[in-house]
Amino acid sequence: MREYNFSEIEQKWKEKWKEEELFKNKSKEEGKENYYVLEMFPYPSGNIHMGHVRNYTIGDVIGRYKTMNGYNVLHPIGWDSFGLPAENAAIKNKIHPYNWTLSNIENMKKQLKMLGFSYDWDREIATCKEDYYKWNQWIFIKMYEKGLVYKKNSNVNWCNTCNTVLANEQVEEGKCWRCDSEVVQKKLEQWFFKITDYAEELLEGHKELKEGWPEKILTMQKNWIGKSYGTEINFKLENTDTDIPVFTTRADTIYGVTYLVIAPEYDLVDELLKEKPEIKEEVIKMRNEDKISRMAEGVEKTGVFTGKYVINPLNNERVPLWIGNYVLTDYGTGAVMAVPAHDERDFEFAKKYDLEMKIVITPKDEKLELEKLEKAFIKKGILINSNEFNGMENKKALNEIAKYIEDEKIGKRTVNYRLKDWLVSRQRYWGTPIPVVYCKNCGMQMEKEENLPVRLPSDIEFTENGNPLETSDEFKNAVCPKCGGKAKRETDTMDTFVDSSWYYLRYTDPQETEIAFKKEKADAWTPVNQYIGGVEHAVMHLLYSRFFHKVLRDFGMVSSNEPFKNLLTQGMVLGPSNYCKVDKKYYNSSELVNGKCPDCGGKVITKVEKMSKSKNNGVDPEHIIKNYGADTARLFTLFAAPPERELEWNENGLAGGHRFLTKVWRLVNENIEFVGGNQIDIKKVNKEEKKLVRKLHQTIKKVTESIENNFHFNTAIAATMELVNEMTTFKIDVLEKGNYSEEGKNVWGESVKKIILMLSPFVPHITDELWSVLQMDGTIYKEKWPKYIEEWTKSDEVILAIQVNGKLRDTIEISKGINKEEIEEKALNLPKIKKYIENKEIKKVIVVPNKIVNIVVK
């Protein structure tokens, strides 16, 4: 018997699959239902990491399993290939981003192919290529024509290191998600997509997704969209005609307003600073704070008094106007009314700055005293100090006061969304050029469709300063599409999230040149049956894709409402990080010397953290494949944890997976002579053979249900391991001793074939080789998934608990259906039981069929 040479086997089968064009999708196969499985496509950074291996192995198993179950499977791959890292590489290495990106794509493609993924490479796309980003521009123009694109001055998050605008979602704890630099505020004219026009539909769409998406993701999106019902009230700036509208969900507390707070980015602030320049430095500091942490609980709330006052329109009281870091222009109107007696945040702020408080809600049978108030009263109660609404329950008063505000025309009831329009401008080179020109005579004009794509120029000098497109006369100088005169081209490029918002549709028709994709092809495949990716994309990519899909539906380009029917969010891959406080540096575990820092010899702080370049705790997949094989790498990532849970890297687990595959290899190869070729006749098998048949069909059922119900590949693989153990026992006790009936070889043959079939989606190379060892034709990819017979999964035996005076003393396995007298006799003759009943009087024996025997003795 030849040894398990994984390198030779894996290379052999990858070549065969390629020759046969095995994974090339047929758009429609007669009698087969379409199934679209898709993993979020990668950014071509140069090398795949173990997170990629896990993500793409999950998708590959699903694709292979569905193919074996008779589906016509679409399983494509491509590259999310625009983005800032390519520009940074261009600056650092003096190489064009296009060349850097294509080189990385080729290397990562080679690595992905090493893992044996069943991708249809004929459908490969790269978003940095003209045949893709042309359609970004076309969609942009169509959205503009429908009123879904606009340009306006806006305070933006600005990264001075990357020299670009960042969306709110790209700011993490006040720092740039790419380079970790401090983010500041800057006012620029920017392009926006009107995603807010779809806010309500994005929320309503969750009803369609609740069966197939994780509840956590839907909750994150719901909170990000942030729908709330309330009232908008106009507070007038004293001695002016300027109104400051305020959105509140608590109109019942409006008589308790003792100050008003506006966001540091509020439009009025710059005018106020002219009259009070001494607070400018503090306001700038607030503007540059991370917006998310400004709103977070436990973070100190700071503010400055503007020196101005506003008038409460319900009681004409004069209240001070403050600027506070905890108010954002991104939510509501950018101004909040402060009711410190009935709001915890306002209470803390008022205490800190010694501001007035006023009680307007009190318990029914208790009087609140301002001097004794230690925290805000936020419970239900009765209104006081609220004019004609005194004595009214606050829940009723909320509606009555809102109605009064509308009747008096000092405000209105309204619905507010936390979601803001999507800022898509980026002041960088490596992205889709925005197809707009500016003409002195005609103003702003969209480029003509026949002139698309607007190509990125080649005469670019890449530096760390500013927008590279601003340096290219070739790019900037354009012709007005309306009058034919001289014009200037827009130099901003699109946010790279635009690229990933519709790529799944391009896969359905990637060679189409006349339109982004044909509707009939998109409708044949979408919504995507199973989408797989990280939870970190919940409120960016996944929300933007849903928005784009609905927009394209309204353009008549797709029929479905949602892009992804089912979503699986896989957990992160974790590994040990080793940090040296002396060197202030992370070391890979392989670099440590006797567990200590290789440079200073000191102790390192070891933690289990997400694998990343910054923590230097990654594991090179190529190294794993070279030493253990692709099948072992795949097996470990699937077996170590359920897909939605974090996976902790473990070299021992990897070695264990390799041992298992070696065991399967030997089990099949060493016992070929026992492989029968006929179906099992269950009536002719002996007891030991029937036991293996039962275990086989129990395993088929378990593996099938584990994949179908929740993609718990770890329990599916565990079930196959149990079957392999049972087969090993059968080989030793039955085959090698000749204790088998005429059906014995058929039982063994069926068991061998079925275990290979069940393992094939997980470890496709070794299983195709074993299939050929059995003299079976072709590849398992074209075989049918094994079916179980329910009746054969059930045992003919039952285990009874044997008790003496109610205490468990032993168990016994007996055939189902034997009478009580036989059960009693067997129980009383068990050696362990004899010890407890010896020299004692047996009062009675209680037999509960198929469950328990209780012997009562005295």
* Tens digits of residue pLDDT in 386-419: 999 999 999 999 999 999 999 999 999 999 998 9
| CATH fold for domain 797-857 | Ubiquitin-like (UB roll) (3.10.20)
Strands 573-580 and 78-79: unpaired
Structure tokens at 655: 């070695």
What are 190-236's pLDDT values in tens digits? 999 999 999 999 999 999 999 999 999 999 999 999 999 999 999 99
Residue 278 is predicted with a pLDDT of: 93
Counting Cβ atoms within 10 Å, is residue 467 exposed (0-12), middle (13-18) or buried (19+)?
Answer: middle
Quote the CA–CA distance of 202 and 179 in Å, as a whole number.
31
Tokens of 846: 């209680």
pLDDT at 614 over 90: no
Instruction: Work out the end-to-end distance of the chain between its first and last CA atoms, rounded to an integer number of angstroms.
Output: 63
pLDDT tens-place string over residues 439-474: 999 999 999 999 999 999 988 888 766 788 998 999
Please give the CATH architecture assigned to the domain spanning 83-104+125-199+419-496: 3-Layer(aba) Sandwich (3.40)
**pLDDT > 80? residue 581:** yes
Query: For the chain, give me the number of helices (H) and strands (E)?
Result: 27, 35
* Assigned token pair, 76: 């494509």
pLDDT of residue 167: 64
* CA geometry: angle 408, 410, 411, nearest 5 deg: 115
Per-residue model confidence as pLDDT tens digits over 54-64: 999 999 999 99
Quote the pTM value: 0.88
Distance CA 823, CA 820 (A): 5
* pLDDT higher than 90, residue 138: yes
Fold topology of 228-416: Isoleucyl-tRNA Synthetase; domain 2 (3.90.740)
Q: List the beta strands (DSSP E) in 593-733.
A: 605-610, 647-648
Domain boundaries, the chain: 1-35+47-74+561-571+617-795, 83-104+125-199+419-496, 228-416, 573-610, 797-857
pLDDT of 663 strictly over 70: yes
Q: How far apart are CA 622 and CA 644, in angstroms?
A: 24
DSSP string computed for 704-731:
HHHHHHH--HHHHHHHHHHHHHHHHHHI
Question: Which of 688-697, 700-709, 737-746 is predicted with the least confidence, judged by mean pLDDT?
Answer: 737-746
> Hey, what are 24's tokens?
């090339």
Fold of the domain built from segment(s) 1-35+47-74+561-571+617-795? Isoleucyl-tRNA Synthetase; Domain 1 (1.10.730)
Q: Mean of the pLDDT values across residues 180-195?
A: 89
Query: Rounded to the nearest 5°, which phi and psi values hold at 148?
Result: -100, 5
Q: What integer is the mean pLDDT of 499-506?
A: 99
